[in-house]
């Protein structure tokens, strides 16, 4: 969540920062597992003055980014914007929950990480989720037993997280999700998930007593 808050800050501050190269290698964890965004070598400051001359300097020509994480419009020389970083965030979110990189050999032709997730929702969400997500729930359980322990509410929360990742990584920059809305929705999902997990444990505890 700290990664999310940090990202929102850099794109919504008085002079927004366009990172241009958000990817796993640029997300660092400290001893408390707090995420920090690093490597601002390609970053650009976005003026809110609206001056055409300045905006022309923000062309993505020459901005390479990283294949799989860079917004598709940058490959066509489109103007840089915070929407490009929103795309990268969406891909990162999908990667975290599927355990698959956007450059995996599986993805070729018309199949990419975005479409891979989209085709699986909502009915096959458990088939694409990374096993480490289940390990967070119970490290001693195998995946099958973890599936059976998940409630419909928790599964729905997982689908919602994937849908946010998809909404951030759509092809059209203007259609991508607003990061303030992303923060509110993820906090809501987290709260519901933890409440459901705690509630289920209380029920199980009362049954065994």
Does residue 28 sit in helix, strand or coil? strand
Query: Would you please indicate which residues are annotated as catalytic (active-site) residues?
Result: 21
Q: Extract long-range pairs of 27-34: CB within 8 Å, 24+ residues apart.
A: 27/3, 27/92, 34/2
The answer to whether the CB of 156 falls within 8 A of the CB of 125 is: no
CA dihedral 168, 6, 75, 55 (to 10 degrees): 110
Task: For tokens 């729930």, name the residue.
Answer: 137
Residue 177: DSSP 8-state: P
Cα Rg, the chain, nearest whole Å? 19
Q: Could you tell me the two tokens for 163?
A: 């849908």
The answer to whether the CB of 26 falls within 8 A of the CB of 39 is: yes
Of 70, 58, 61, the C-alpha closest to 21 is 70
Return d(Cα 178, Cα 81) in angstroms, integer. Answer: 13
């Amino acid at each position: 969540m700290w990664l999310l808050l940090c990202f929102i800050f850099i794109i919504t501050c008085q002079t927004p920062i366009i990172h241009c190269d958000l990817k796993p290698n640029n997300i660092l964890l400290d001893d408390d597992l707090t995420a920090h965004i690093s490597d601002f070598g390609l970053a650009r400051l976005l003026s809110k003055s609206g001056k055409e001359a300045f905006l022309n300097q923000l062309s993505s020509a020459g901005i390479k980014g990283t294949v799989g994480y860079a917004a598709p419009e940058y490959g066509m020389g489109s103007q840089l914007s915070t929407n490009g970083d929103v795309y990268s965030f969406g891909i990162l979110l999908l990667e975290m929950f599927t355990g698959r990189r956007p450059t995996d050999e599986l993805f070729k032709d018309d199949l990419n990480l975005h479409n891979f997730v989209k085709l699986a929702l909502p009915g096959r969400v458990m088939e694409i989720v990374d096993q480490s997500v289940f390990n967070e729930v119970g490290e001693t359980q195998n995946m099958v037993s973890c599936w059976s322990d998940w409630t419909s509410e928790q599964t729905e929360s997982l689908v919602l997280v994937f849908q946010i990742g998809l909404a951030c990584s759509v092809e059209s920059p203007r259609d991508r999700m607003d990061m303030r809305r992303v923060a509110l929705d993820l906090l809501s999902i987290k709260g519901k998930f933890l409440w459901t997990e705690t509630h289920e444990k209380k029920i199980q505890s009362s049954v065994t007593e």
